[in-house]
Amino acid sequence: MPVSRRRFLGLGAGGAAGAALALSGCGSGGAALSGPDQVNLWTWNRSVSDKLTTLAAKKGIPGDSSKKLIYTKIGGNYKQKILTALAGKSSIPDIMGMNSDVASYFPDADVFWDLRELGAESVKSEYLDWKWQQGVAPDGRMLAFPMDAGPTALFYRADIFAKAGLPTDPQEIAAMAPDWPSYLKMATQLRKKVPGSVIVPTMSEAYGELTGQLPKLYMTKDNHYIGDQDHIKQAFDMAYKVVKDGLSANAQGPDVNAIITNGKQPCQIGAVWWGLIYPVGSAPQTSGKWRVAMPPGGPGNSGGSFLAIPKQARNPQAAMDLIKWLQSPKNQASAFGEMQLFPSTPAAYKDPALAAPQKFYGGQRTIDVFGTVAQKVPGAYLSAYDDIISTQFGNEIPNVEGGKSPEAAWKTIQENVKRELTRVGVM
């Protein structure tokens, strides 16, 4: 059929109008990723148990076997990808993982379910309270459900400590170094007897350990900046003292592993995952020589993660049921056995997977330390802006280690923090 020019133009206009309609169609609504009998879960690798997710994918989610789990491991820059998906308002999963930067999602609380509405609170008592609170936005909405926690302990090489004439028993170590000044005194003695010894790879690490033990951090709940106050300044000064006393290796990249492997750094305050990466991962030949003690300066936390349910989830209630099952004390304990994710449920600490003596730590029952610490973490309020603020500290602290005066660096940090917070409209 010959197409006349008029008809051709008419078709063109119709096509354009159709395209415009289609475009506006994508814009609204916000399609869910899942089909009616699916629950989609997005997290990074090694954050949830493969064993459990495979089970839920095959047999359906507990309580509703008609719905199957689809678990996608997101590689690369996880957060960037998640934010892009959320900003695109399309193909949103039912459950998504959040790392220890959970608070940075608080301003976007509107796009997530308040998990209390889905009945999360029925299991609240099973979880560490401070951990639970970290997933709750300042207005009381519960944004994220606890996964693993990162209670810290003092890891140390008993053989090297013995060589330095220090006690090797965890109890005695804890009694000898209850706080940072006494810890540094102990480290100085170590350094005298075993020359070259350090206790941290960098000043940034020391600062991180110190701030992980604080009961308050950078912001108050009503968005006042308190990162320029004494509690932070003291941590900053103490971290600098570590450098001044020669107890930081100023190590970068692979050197951070090397100083653990060769024994130059025979102790560190770290979370369970630290022990897995460094002593176990890069110094397997030191098996049996490590111990853990209560951390100098008090219980702290480093890392840990959460699960949240976006508003666009197709099956929010099924997602909630799945989370409760996946993160039950029993299953958290099994995840610990699988990949050493430390449970946020105290009941799990009695599980054989955690309570058994650890060969790598000379047969010590490390849960005695980690379990105690986990229940005493002061749990500072984490704000949406902590990431921005800690980046400013993180940028400047290496300069101090490189020779910049700590006073000048402190001033630069505070100026930069004010600049950043002004831009996001908090100051």
Closest CA to 93 of 107, 113, 122, 119: 113
Separation of alpha carbons 274 and 15, rounded Å: 59
Residues 6+ apart with CB under 8 A from 406: 236, 237, 240, 400
Span near another protein by CB under 8 A; candidates 12-20, 319-327, 375-383, 402-410 = 12-20
Neighbours of 362 (CB within 10 A): 15
Residue with Cβ nearer another protein (1 or 23): 23
107 binds another protein (CB under 8 A): yes
Task: Tell which one of 101, 108, 117, 338 touches another protein (CB under 8 A).
Answer: 108
11 binds another protein (CB under 8 A): no
Q: How far is the CB of 96 from another protein (least distance, A)?
A: 12
Q: How far is the CB of 112 from another protein (least distance, A)?
A: 10
Residue with Cβ nearer another protein (45 or 422): 422
Task: Tell which one of 12, 29, 281, 394 touches another protein (CB under 8 A).
Answer: 12
Task: Tell which one of 3, 9, 162, 175 touches another protein (CB under 8 A).
Answer: 9
**One symbol per residue from 368 to 407: x for binding another protein (CB under 8 A), - otherwise; what is it?**
----------------------------------------
Span near another protein by CB under 8 A; candidates 14-22, 57-65, 164-172, 344-352 = 14-22
Separation of alpha carbons 291 and 197, rounded Å: 17
Residue with Cβ nearer another protein (348 or 421): 421
Question: Between 406-423 and 230-244, two packed helices, what is the crossing angle to 10 degrees?
Answer: 140
Separation of alpha carbons 207 and 235, rounded Å: 6
C-alpha 72, offset from chain centre:
20
Separation of alpha carbons 68 and 314, rounded Å: 13
Instruction: Specify the amino acid at residue 327.
Output: Q
Count of residues that bind another protein according to CB under 8 A: 27
DSSP state letters, 276-297: IIIIIHH-GGGTTSEEEEPPTT
Neighbours of 20 (CB within 10 A): 10
422 binds another protein (CB under 8 A): yes
Closest CA to 341 of 84, 140, 203, 148: 148
Residue with tokens 């395209």: 19
Separation of alpha carbons 315 and 336, rounded Å: 28
Q: How far is the CB of 240 from another protein (least distance, A)?
A: 25
**One symbol per residue from 73 to 102: x for binding another protein (CB under 8 A), - otherwise; what is it?**
----x--x--xx-xx---------------
424 binds another protein (CB under 8 A): yes
Q: How far is the CB of 106 from another protein (least distance, A)?
A: 9
Q: Tell me the pairing of strands 95-98 and 145-157.
A: unpaired
Span near another protein by CB under 8 A; candidates 173-181, 205-213, 321-329, 419-427 = 419-427
CB burial of 283-306 (b: ≥16 within 10 Å; e: otherwise) equals beebeebbbbbbbbbbbbbbbbbb
Task: Tell which one of 109, 142, 308, 323 touches another protein (CB under 8 A).
Answer: 109
Residue with Cβ nearer another protein (107 or 165): 107
Specify the DSSP class assigned to residue 108: G
Closest CA to 372 of 295, 320, 259: 295
16-45 residues in contact with another protein (CB under 8 A) are: 16-17, 19-20, 23
Task: Tell which one of 7, 15, 220, 363 touches another protein (CB under 8 A).
Answer: 15
Q: How far is the CB of 77 from another protein (least distance, A)?
A: 7
Binding site for another protein (CB under 8 A): 9-10, 12-13, 15-17, 19-20, 23, 77, 80, 83-84, 86-87, 107-111, 419-420, 422-425
